[in-house]
A = this chain, B = another copy of it.
């Protein structure tokens, strides 16, 4: 069937990997895919309890309900044409397939909904596109029969962009997972042409065998796809060294209702008038089906190593990043986690023996005594370095020199590696907590340097307001990390979690809370999103800050290549009623 046969249904990740709880209330990540797999972690539940001010009982655990999909809407002529043209395995009306292609990974609106309540809408058919010819044909048939197409990559987005649109037409999810080949690789030009449905994992594994990497490493790399990265305008953890997706892609091919669209040449840079390539980043499935792209690749680094840095508090940590962001000698990845996320990481340490406890104790002495560090205030930067041995040495030296000015000191590579790799386990924890009616979500933004602390405070305050107003149990958890550095700002990534124990309808409450927090961020000077995108959930938020002419300009581009709105996913400025007041928008057209 689908290329990602090892993928879990609906929830995040691999089918063989999930957090479980033991009778002694220790937790464990099953399988063997990650460093933390297979060890009992006794500190986690206590950490959750103390953070959220609620008890977590085994008896609270609720298993997902049986999911049902509504009857598929079938456009008879289109279905007949598809059946005549394609073999059976190319398309499906199966309920589970349709359900799993109707959502991304947003917690409240999607994962909680599909597992515990219901999705508002479900696609009517899934088409498994395997070739560019398939793409051209399905687009032609959809055009002919007035069917709506929604491109599907890895299903990892958190913006609702896969949520089927309100549309009277039959809606077909076009799964690109079978377009997962490398078409060519040119080592002399450091370029690879890959099909759009290839996942980051597939791409990197194949490149690695030939000694290359793209260096694009979003947290979702195991499942998200090349086409998805372009549509979402994605960025990855190693952007410092390799760039974000717009710096990695040299050209894109898109099948649109008006024909195949190729961007101009396969060059790393051109000044050739307005670049069509640039309007494909962030197009979120509204323009056509991305079928392949040419990417820059880089030789595998000679050295890959990790480090971590401890700072006395967030102000000094951020000031360090501000200075570091001016350096040209940067580690591939550096992420500063606040005290809450640092303690979250500690809570995921396995049950430790005597010797390990002693070491921790010693560390405590060092932290408290010698360096006068308050464990309740300290923050940690996890660092991934790549390059020649000379580059990595220079990176470490630059870090040390700058960190010293902010009372920062190295805390070792194993802490750094662990912090870096923990990223891949976070979403599993999200799914685990959801079973206890603890809902967590991430909110990411770009912030000007001088607004970071204010926005953090504003978001913290708002979580308290929400908590009181909604009379939620316990207290909210809010932590953040600074994950990307730019000259004029940084990407800040909040994690918000709250217990909904005993609440009647947790999904909508959490969804509304999240929305309020996002508005708080934007109102206080943050960007709508750094790299997650708009989709449907942030469309109103975008409308609140976007000049109307901008939306018109973007719509005019679409009018040229998709005049009858075959790609009617309605994301971003294409959401029905975009820019109109909410009351008006909901009753519109």
Q: How far is the CB of A216 from chain B (nearest CB, A)?
A: 12
Q: In the complex where A262-B547, A276-B553 touch, is A489 in contact with B446 (Cβ < 8 A)? A: no
Least CB separation from A325: chain B residue: B190
Whether the Cβ atoms of B329 and A329 lie closer than 8 Å is: yes
Q: In the complex where A391-B328, A398-B391 touch, is A273 in contact with B189 (Cβ < 8 A)? A: no
In-complex Cβ contact of A561 among B233, B275, B280, B553 (8 A): B553
Residues of B within 8 A of A262 (CB): 547
Residues of B within 8 A of A273 (CB): 282-284, 533-534, 542, 554, 571-573
Indicate if A60 sits at the interface (CB-CB under 8 A): no
Indicate if A176 sits at the interface (CB-CB under 8 A): no
In-complex Cβ contact of A448 among B233, B266, B391 (8 A): B266
Whether the Cβ atoms of B489 and A267 lie closer than 8 Å is: yes
Binds B, one of A117-125, A293-301, A502-510: A293-301
Indicate if A449 sits at the interface (CB-CB under 8 A): yes
Residues of B within 8 A of A190 (CB): 326, 449, 487-488
Indicate if A436 sits at the interface (CB-CB under 8 A): no
Indicate if A362 sits at the interface (CB-CB under 8 A): no
Query: A157-197 vs B: 1/0 string, CB under 8 Å?
Result: 00000000000000000000000000000101111000000
Indicate if A426 sits at the interface (CB-CB under 8 A): no
Q: How far is the CB of A555 from chain B (nearest CB, A)?
A: 8
Whether the Cβ atoms of B446 and A486 lie closer than 8 Å is: no
Indicate if A560 sits at the interface (CB-CB under 8 A): yes
Whether the Cβ atoms of B279 and A534 lie closer than 8 Å is: no
- A449–B299 Cα distance when bound, in Å, is 15
Indicate if A81 sits at the interface (CB-CB under 8 A): no
Q: In the complex where A298-B487, A557-B557 touch, is A269 in contact with B244 (Cβ < 8 A)? A: yes
Binds B, one of A21-29, A87-95, A523-531: A523-531
Indicate if A412 sits at the interface (CB-CB under 8 A): no
- A446–B265 Cα distance when bound, in Å, is 10
Residues of B within 8 A of A298 (CB): 326, 487
Whether the Cβ atoms of B270 and A449 lie closer than 8 Å is: no
Indicate if A418 sits at the interface (CB-CB under 8 A): no
Residues of B within 8 A of A573 (CB): 273-274
Indicate if A235 sits at the interface (CB-CB under 8 A): yes
In-complex Cβ contact of A271 among B296, B448, B530, B550 (8 A): B530
Count of interface residues, chain A, beta-carbon cutoff 8 Å: 91
Which of A270-310 touch B at CB < 8 Å?
270-276, 278-284, 296-299
Indicate if A64 sits at the interface (CB-CB under 8 A): no
Query: A36-69 vs B: 1/0 string, CB under 8 Å?
Result: 0000000000000000000000000000000000
- A390–B546 Cα distance when bound, in Å, is 43
Scoring A189, A250, A529, A532 by chain B CB atoms within 10 A of each residue's CB, the highest score goes to: A189
- A191–B447 Cα distance when bound, in Å, is 13
Q: How far is the CB of A564 from chain B (nearest CB, A)?
A: 15
- A296–B485 Cα distance when bound, in Å, is 13
Residues of B within 8 A of A552 (CB): 560
Indicate if A75 sits at the interface (CB-CB under 8 A): no
Indicate if A85 sits at the interface (CB-CB under 8 A): no
Indicate if A259 sits at the interface (CB-CB under 8 A): yes
A and B contact pairs by CB, cutoff 8 A, 27 listed: A190-B326, A235-B271, A258-B549, A262-B547, A264-B528, A264-B547, A267-B488, A267-B527, A268-B446, A269-B484, A269-B491, A269-B527, A269-B531, A270-B527, A271-B529, A272-B282, A272-B527, A272-B542, A272-B572, A273-B534, A273-B573, A274-B282, A279-B279, A299-B326, A328-B391, A394-B394, A394-B397
Given A268-B446, A549-B561, A556-B559; 15 other pairs, CB 8 A cutoff: A188-B450, A233-B272, A244-B269, A258-B549, A264-B550, A265-B545, A266-B448, A267-B488, A270-B529, A271-B529, A271-B531, A272-B528, A272-B542, A274-B573, A278-B281
